[in-house]
Each structure stands twice: as structure tokens, then as C-alpha cells.
């Protein structure tokens, strides 16, 4: 639920796409008949299918009916083999974008992002949680609120696959971001920072640039930036990715009114697509 992308299911590459919905529906049918298995949940959300993996609907009234919908697109950043450090990335930008991003980097002065150890995640957990809430409380829709021990608990389970980088100012955290390494893919995770007027956008821009820098260092192929702040992510080179979701209610009666719930789940964020790269880069 907390990561954008195809992480809640897996089909082999040679699996017949026309049978995917049939299998998903039959699994849900079994689960809904045994509510204790799903802690009495009434609604199931299946997300996120890319265009090529989109479910093919079958006319079968004996299985659970899934309703397809889209919310904000995912923003995916594609790495280039020619990038060996952040300077290589900046050199591929057009002059206007490069100047803007260099100014954002300079705005931090001597402050730098440093990776937190497992012990520091516990030490700074209250500050991390406060920074997270400062951002999450201003988002239009949240599936849930994270527990104060979420980050340190996740670190203890996946160890070197989960990382937090933070800016410390005289021992006080003023910003952090996190990510998960998933094979050759980086999944941008939760972040947080203090609100200080005009510095807010520059701090967020630096978080995106640091994610790109870490992506280059870890030699990953793409970064999944998630669904928020679409325009600013586009301004550093991320591209829109359509993702399809499916929802159903255990009750066939309530399922007829699922469209009203979909309206609630579909926040709209007007944005302008940007391309920061040189035309021939």
C-alpha cells in the first residue's frame, strides 16, 4: 500500500494476460468467504498495473467484479549509462534547467545530506516523525498515518535495501528522505522537511537531486518517484507513467455504489509537463 508500482502481485512473463483477472477475482472470492483471513475487511484494492499488464475483463458473473480506475500517474525517472556522477546528469540538462538546479544546490550552503545508521534512525525517530507529519498533513489524501517506529522497524527488516538520508544542522534534523532498493529499481519512499518560506521548494528539489545521485551511485536503471508533486518531478526529468487500479466490495449491493468511493480516491493535481534535457541529449 505504501509504495507506488507493481508490488502486490506477480505473474510470470509468459502468463496469459486474459486469465489474470479471472485468477485475481477467484482469489478474492475465496478471501471474502473467509473474512477472518483478511481481518474482516470489506473492500479490496488491487494496485498498480502498468498499461502492458492491465487486466482483461471477463464476462463471468460468478466471480468478484473488479472496477478499474486511475488516480494520479506515477512519475518514473530513467537513468542513462553515460552518467557516472551528478555532474554528468547536470551536463545533459538545458542551460535554464541546469542553472535553476545549481542554484537550488547552492541554497543549502554547507548543509549536506548524510545517510543515517540504524541506531540514528532510532535516536532521531521523533524528529523524523515530526518532519514526516509536516509534509503528510498537507497532502490531499493519505491512506494511513505512519507509526513513529515505522522507519526503524522497516530498516531492521530489509537492512541494506532501505536507506534514510538527512540534513543535520547542529544536531537537529531539518530534512530527510528515504528510498527502497528493489533489484535495479529505486523506490522513492517517505520524506519530510521543515517549512521555512521560500526554502521549501529548494529543499524538495535537493531531495530529488540526491535521489538521482544515489541512483547513479547504486547503478540502478529507474527511479519510481511516486504520485505526488508531478510538475517538480517532471522538471528534473521524471516521466509520466499511467497506472491502473482495481477495487471491489465484498457486498454485491454495496459494489454497485463503488463509483462514489472512486471519486474520493481520485485527487486531481493540475500540472504542466516539463523536459529539462537538451534536445540532442
The predicted-structure confidence for 235-249, as pLDDT tens digits, reads as follows: 999 999 999 988 888
Residues 185 and 169 in one domain: yes
Q: C-alpha distances in angstroms, 250 versus 26, 42, 43, 136, 173?
A: 13, 5, 6, 30, 45
Distance between CA 205 and CA 97 in Å, rounded? 12
What CATH number did the domain enclosing 231 receive? 3.40.630.30
Could you say which DSSP state residue 93 is in?
B
- Report angle CA 127, 7, 54 to the nearest 5 degrees: 135
Confidence check: pLDDT of 200 > 80: no
> What's the maximum distance between 2 C-alpha atoms anywhere in the chain?
64
pLDDT at 37: 87
pLDDT at 60: 58
In a domain, 198, yes or no: yes
Q: Tell me the mean pLDDT in the region 83-112.
A: 96
Taking the CB of residue 279, how many other CB atoms lie within 10 A of it? 6
Joined grid coordinates for residue 129: 516523525
pTM of the model: 0.90
The domain containing residue 29 runs over which residues? 17-72+242-264
Distance between CA 182 and CA 180 in Å, rounded? 6
Residues 140 and 259 in one domain: no
Amino acid at each position: 500500500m505504501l509504495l507506488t508500482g507493481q508490488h502486490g502481485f506477480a505473474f510470470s512473463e509468459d502468463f496469459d494476460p486474459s486469465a489474470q483477472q479471472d485468477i485475481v477475482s477467484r482469489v478474492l472470492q475465496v478471501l471474502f468467504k473467509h473474512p477472518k483471513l483478511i481481518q474482516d475487511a470489506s473492500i479490496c484494492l488491487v494496485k498498480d498495473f502498468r498499461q502492458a499488464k492491465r487486466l482483461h475483463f471477463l464476462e463471468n458473473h460468478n466471480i468478484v467484479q473488479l472496477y478499474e480506475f486511475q488516480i494520479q500517474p506515477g512519475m518514473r525517472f530513467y537513468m542513462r549509462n553515460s552518467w557516472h556522477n551528478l555532474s554528468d546528469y547536470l551536463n545533459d540538462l538545458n542551460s535554464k534547467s541546469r542553472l535553476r538546479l545549481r542554484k537550488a544546490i547552492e541554497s543549502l550552503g554547507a548543509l549536506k545530506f548524510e545517510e543515517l545508521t540504524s541506531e540514528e534512525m532510532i535516536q532521531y525517530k521523533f524528529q523524523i516523525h515530526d518532519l514526516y507529519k509536516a509534509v503528510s498533513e498537507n497532502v490531499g489524501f493519505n491512506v494511513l498515518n505512519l507509526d513513529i517506529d515505522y522507519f526503524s522497524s522497516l530498516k531492521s527488516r530489509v537492512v541494506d535495501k532501505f536507506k534514510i538520508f538527512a540534513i543535520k544542522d547542529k544536531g537537529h534534523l531539518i530534512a530527510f528522505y528515504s528510498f527502497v532498493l528493489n533489484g535495479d529499481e529505486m523506490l522513492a519512499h517517505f520524506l519530510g522537511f521543515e517549512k521555512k518560506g521560500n526554502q521549501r521548494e529548494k529543499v524538495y528539489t535537493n531531495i530529488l537531486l540526491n535521489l538521482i545521485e544515489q541512483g547513479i551511485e547504486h547503478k540502478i536503471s529507474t527511479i519510481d518517484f511516486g504520485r505526488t508533486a508531478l510538475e517538480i518531478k517532471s522538471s528534473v526529468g521524471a516521466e509520466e507513467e499511467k497506472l491502473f487500479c482495481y477495487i471491489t466490495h465484498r457486498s454485491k449491493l454495496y459494489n454497485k455504489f463503488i463509483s462514489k468511493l472512486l471519486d474520493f480516491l481520485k485527487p486531481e493535481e493540475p500540472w504542466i509537463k516539463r523536459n529539462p534535457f537538451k534536445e540532442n541529449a
